[in-house]
């Protein structure tokens, strides 16, 4: 019997006709915890992290996990235990890092819209660095730090105007994007930062996008970054660390991104040739550490034949898996139990009252109502972007390590979704 292809999932595979994650039958997890259900492989995350560690062997390196990809506490705990820092974009994410046992001194604070309250929170926590994204933010951070007698370590995010050749919604390094300082303004902004009270220039940063599958954008951006460092240091402003961001893609559907260690061997050869090989490096991988480590289990509710489309209606929806709706993204879909009967072509859709609530289009599946399916490569930007639309509780989550499976998030109830809301006081008739 032919089994479906599972791209990019060495720890998610069929044993016989049953889909397993590491040494655990996924169907058993669904039977225990219900559906929709997110399940993650710890071994897959460990392997992904190890590729970065190999690529930077012998170098001074901070790996700061970009937690917006998946901010579940147990996932953060795992990376903290591996010695990682964190790339955050909100005060709430900083609170999550600390709740998971992370070290504030290994935190990079990115994002274009930091509030004064968030700046103060991060200063008091003692974070590693602020990645500043605008001249106005630089002035505001100086004022906040000075008012409380702190020194804010800053790195300025430059916009190198390099096309990452990815979806426009997750491209961040072009002139038309909201992120970073224009390449041409970099020296002037660094000079202003060096003159402001309450700030200490410690680094330089770029991040050109997400789900990047080619090396050329990284190489081009690195050349521009190194040119700028030479120009800034010639003006008397030392750069202590170089932050290359993240954005490396994963295999969703036959994608062929370079392995992390392969990519960094090429980048470091360029960096060494320019004389910067002994610097402190910072990288901020997110999707590439967790994306292929996760799957979402969903149950088939109904099969609905139509004149032009057959629909496989499942209990997971766009509130659980927003990427197809938001980015027209592809996720492989595979049965937990392989059937011998002929397959049919279906659009796999959820129960939410939106035509945009689809999980996969034109998929060949041999399924019946009651069967369970796995939506693959859902470790990144799924649970972290999940919502309660249609008053749907967010799914439960399980982390698998070998033969051990731990519930790391309980399924939300309807009451959970409106906790914190209040009814107005009734007025007398």
Crossing angle of helices 260-273 and 42-55, in 10° steps, is 20
Taking a C-beta distance cutoff of 8 angstroms, is the pair 181, 136 a contact?
no
Closest by CA position to 348, among listed 313, 309, 304, 306: 313
SS percent in the chain: helix, strand, coil, step 5 = 35, 25, 40
Residue with tokens 């859709």, as numbered in its chain: 349
Strands (E) located in 333-416: 333-335, 344-349, 358-365, 372-376, 396-401, 404-409
The tokens of 20 are what?
Answer: 């397993």
Closest by CA position to 204, among listed 155, 260, 159, 165: 155
Closest by CA position to 161, among listed 224, 232, 104: 224
- Distance between CA atoms of 209 and 246, rounded to whole angstroms? 8
Strand partners, 87: 66, 108
Residue with tokens 């790339």, as numbered in its chain: 87
Compute φ and ψ for 63, nearest 5 degrees.
Answer: -95, 115
Residue 189 host element (H or E):
helix 186-195
Examine residue 400 and say whether the peptide bond preceding it is cis (omega within 30 degrees of 0). Answer: no
Residue 95 host element (H or E):
helix 91-99
- Distance between CA atoms of 331 and 178, rounded to whole angstroms? 28
User: Which residues are known catalytic residues?
Assistant: 353
**SS3 of 396-418:** EEEEEECCEEEEEECCCCHHHHC
DSSP assignment of 126-162 equals: T-SEEEE-SHHHHHHHHHHHHHTT--EEEEEEEE---
Taking a C-beta distance cutoff of 8 angstroms, is the pair 385, 322 a contact?
yes
The tokens of 427 are what?
Answer: 């007025």
């Amino acid at each position: 019997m032919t089994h479906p292809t599972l791209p990019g999932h060495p720890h998610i595979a069929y044993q016989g006709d049953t889909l397993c994650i590491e040494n655990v039958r996924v169907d058993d997890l669904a039977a225990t915890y219900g559906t929709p259900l997110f399940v993650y492989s710890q071994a897959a995350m460990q392997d992904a992290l190890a590729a970065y560690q190999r690529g930077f062997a012998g170098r001074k390196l901070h790996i700061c996990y970009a937690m917006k990809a998946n901010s579940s506490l147990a996932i953060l705990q795992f990376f903290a235990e591996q010695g990682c820092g964190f790339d955050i974009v909100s005060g709430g994410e900083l609170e999550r890092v600390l709740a998971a046992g992370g070290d504030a001194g290994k935190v990079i604070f990115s994002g274009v819209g930091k509030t004064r309250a968030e700046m103060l929170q991060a200063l008091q926590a003692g974070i590693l660095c602020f990645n500043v994204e605008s001249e106005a933010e630089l002035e505001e951070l100086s004022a906040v730090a000075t008012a409380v007698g702190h020194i804010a370590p800053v790195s300025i995010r430059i916009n190198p105007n390099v096309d990452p050749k990815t979806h426009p919604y997750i491209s961040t390094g072009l002139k038309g994007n909201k992120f970073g300082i224009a390449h041409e303004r970099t020296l002037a902004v660094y000079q202003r930062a060096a003159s402001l009270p309450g700030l200490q220039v410690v680094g330089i940063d770029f991040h050109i996008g997400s789900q990047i599958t080619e090396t050329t954008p990284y190489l081009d951006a690195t050349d521009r970054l190194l040119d700028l460092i030479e120009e800034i240091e010639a003006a008397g402003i030392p750069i202590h660390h170089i932050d290359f961001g993240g954005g490396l893609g994963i295999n969703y559907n036959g994608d062929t991104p370079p392995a992390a260690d392969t990519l960094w061997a090429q980048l470091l050869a360029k960096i060494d040739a320019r004389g910067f090989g002994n610097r402190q490096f910072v990288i901020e991988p997110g999707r590439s550490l967790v994306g292929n480590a996760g799957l979402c289990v969903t149950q088939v509710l109904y099969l609905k034949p139509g004149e032009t489309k057959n629909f496989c209606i499942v209990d997971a929806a766009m509130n659980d898996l927003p990427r197809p709706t938001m980015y027209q993204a592809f996720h492989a879909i595979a049965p937990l139990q392989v059937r011998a009967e002929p397959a049919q072509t279906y659009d796999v859709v959820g129960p939410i009252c939106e035509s945009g609530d689809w999980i996969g289009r034109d998929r060949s599946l041999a399924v019946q109502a009651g069967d369970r399916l796995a939506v693959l490569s859902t470790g990144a930007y799924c649970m972290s972007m999940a919502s309660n639309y249609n008053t749907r509780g967010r799914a439960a989550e399980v982390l698998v390590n070998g033969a051990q499976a731990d519930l790391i998030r309980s399924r939300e109830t309807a009451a959970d979704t409106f906790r914190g809301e209040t009814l107005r006081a009734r007025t007398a008739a």
